[in-house]
């Protein structure tokens, strides 16, 4: 397992050390002015509230860890222009990040570490807590984890008698239909792990979380299969960049 510093290699002056940098090193001519800007940004971050920094300034600051000198603002703004939002940048594939001028492996790793930390923070608000009484925490976790996926992913959250998460099962990637997810297999796994209830989750890469006819049909089949064996389908949550939809809230379960 790599050490923490291996991922960031803070000793670099520009991206990479064993190979030529992706772009020419930043000029030292603005070194002192750049240092002043970094210090002012740091002070605003430490002393300000949640909105102390604009999105591009958050990215600027994150890039300081990988790019020791020079102006990171153009790179931050280029990333936002390319991916559309701060969350989209942080959730982007590392290879896609590196297609932006000035971003190499170290910068991509710095950005991805923030996305990983956000996922783990959100997950900690869900683990070992009754899901139904921590619903917003669950939605936040699912949105962070799935809203920006470029493939459709199906998960089943299996719950115990107190509605605590006991198994977060990745069923597979692809369209949600009986070719990809078998109702009897979903319920059989519930019996295997000792679950009394479950929540079906998937995402829509298109962005809109509105359910399709296939989404509704598979939900109803899983609910019926569960009723026969005493396993409750609490909900089917669809996540997209534009928000989320609960099929139970829509009266479809």
- The string of pLDDT tens digits covering residues 99-118 is 999 999 999 999 989 888 88
Provide the whole-model pTM. 0.66
> Is 101 within 8 Å of 115 (Cβ atoms)?
no
Q: Of 105, 146, 89, which is closest to residue 2 (Cα–Cα)?
A: 105
Q: Of 53, 64, 55, 79, which is closest to residue 26 (Cα–Cα)?
A: 64
- Domain positions in the chain are 21-121, 127-246
57 Cβ neighbours under 8 A, 6+ residues apart = 41, 44, 76
As a whole number of Å, the end-to-end CA separation of the chain is: 45
Q: How confident is the model at residue 178 (pLDDT cuts 50, 70, 90)?
A: low
CATH T-level topology, domain 127-246: Cytidine Deaminase; domain 2 (3.40.140)
- pLDDT at 11 (0 to 100): 35
Burial class of residue 136 (count of CB atoms within 10 Å of its CB; 0-12, 13-18, 19+): exposed
């Amino acid at each position: 397992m790599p050490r923490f510093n291996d991922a960031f290699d803070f000793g670099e002056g520009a991206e990479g050390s064993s190979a030529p940098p992706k772009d020419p090193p930043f000029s030292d001519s603005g070194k002192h002015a750049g240092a002043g800007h970094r210090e002012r940004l740091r002070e605003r971050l430490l002393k300000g509230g949640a909105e102390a920094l604009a999105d591009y300034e958050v990215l600027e600051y994150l890039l300081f860890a990988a790019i020791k000198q020079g102006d990171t603002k153009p790179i931050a703004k280029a990333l936002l222009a390319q991916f559309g939002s701060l969350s989209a940048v942080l959730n982007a594939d590392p290879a896609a990040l590196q297609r932006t001028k000035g971003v190499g492996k170290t910068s991509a790793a710095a950005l991805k570490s923030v996305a990983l930390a956000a996922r783990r923070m959100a997950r900690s608000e869900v683990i070992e807590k009754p899901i139904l009484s921590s619903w917003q925490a669950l939605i936040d976790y699912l949105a962070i984890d799935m809203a920006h996926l470029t493939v459709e992913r199906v998960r089943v959250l299996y719950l115990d008698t107190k509605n605590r998460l006991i198994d977060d099962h990745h069923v597979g990637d692809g369209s949600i239909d009986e070719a990809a997810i078998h109702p009897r297999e979903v319920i059989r796994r519930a019996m295997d792990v000792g679950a009394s209830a479950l929540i079906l989750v998937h995402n829509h890469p298109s962005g809109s979380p509105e359910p399709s006819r296939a989404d509704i049909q598979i939900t109803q089949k899983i609910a019926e299969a569960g009723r026969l064996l005493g396993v409750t389908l609490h909900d089917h949550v669809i996540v997209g960049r534009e928000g989320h939809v609960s099929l139970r809230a829509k009266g479809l379960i």
